[in-house]
Amino acid sequence: MNVQTLLYWVGIAAVAVNALAGVLDSRHKRMDLIGALMVGTATALGGGTVRDLLLDRPVFWVQDQTYLLAASLTGLVSFFIVRAFALQARLLLIPDAIGLALFSILGTQVALQSHAPWLVASLMGVTTGVVGGILRDILCNDVPSILLKGELYATAAWLGAISLIAMQAAGASSVLASSLAMALVLVVRLMAVRYHITLPAFGKDGCA
């Protein structure tokens, strides 16, 4: 199995993890099976979809429906598992961080291949990594959690994306730079959770 094939199947797995995360969130809102499926699918595919629309590329899951199959089958199974067991979102911490690393770095690569300028490419990486979760929270009528004060998430994605771009500009090979950048996203995210590292935020007194 070569690197391309490996990345493809890791990508499918990351889509599945995100679908599970979406279904998990929708349990707070009395959603039914198809509602939970739609939230799970939007969570799993939303980031890459928005990236592809902005870059004027064919939407990845419209071309290859394996992604949609993975998202909907995982969503289906997740619904019944989540209904039967009291799963905690915390369980998903590490799979979710791996998904974030993969999505954000692959998203940045896709944007660079589409000749997006560097700052745009780094934003496309963040978009691929976090917009699915934003869509999930909008569909559940919550303020998107990744916009609120919390352990570095979009920040980890952006640091990875920007360091990928810097390494490739400095002449590093695509495989090396991608691997290091994914590791960086993963380490920053997990360290931030472990040591409660947060960015400056608006204070509680500013609450509506």
113 binds a second copy (CB under 8 A): no
Of positions 19, 79, 107, 168, contacts a second copy by CB under 8 A: 79
Q: Tokens at residue 14, please?
A: 């990351």
As beta bridge partners, residue 198 has 151
List Cα–Cα distances, 112 to 62, 71, 197, in angstroms: 21, 26, 30
Helix (H) or strand (E) holding 193: helix 174-194
Cβ density class 166-179: b for 16+ within 10 Å, e for less = ebbeeebeeeebbe
90 binds a second copy (CB under 8 A): no
Q: Tokens at residue 53, please?
A: 């629309």
Query: Which residue, 8 or 118, has its beta carbon nearer to a second copy?
Result: 118
**Which stretch, 7-15, 80-88, 99-107, 175-183, contacts a second copy (CB under 8 A)?**
80-88
Q: Name the 3-class secondary structure at 198.
A: strand
Of positions 28, 90, 194, 196, contacts a second copy by CB under 8 A: 28
Query: Which residue, 4 or 32, has its beta carbon nearer to a second copy?
Result: 32
Q: Which residues bind a second copy (CB under 8 A)?
A: 26-36, 38-39, 41, 49, 53-56, 58-59, 61-62, 65, 68-69, 72, 79-80, 82-83, 116-120, 123, 134, 138-144, 146-150, 154-155, 158, 198-204, 206-208
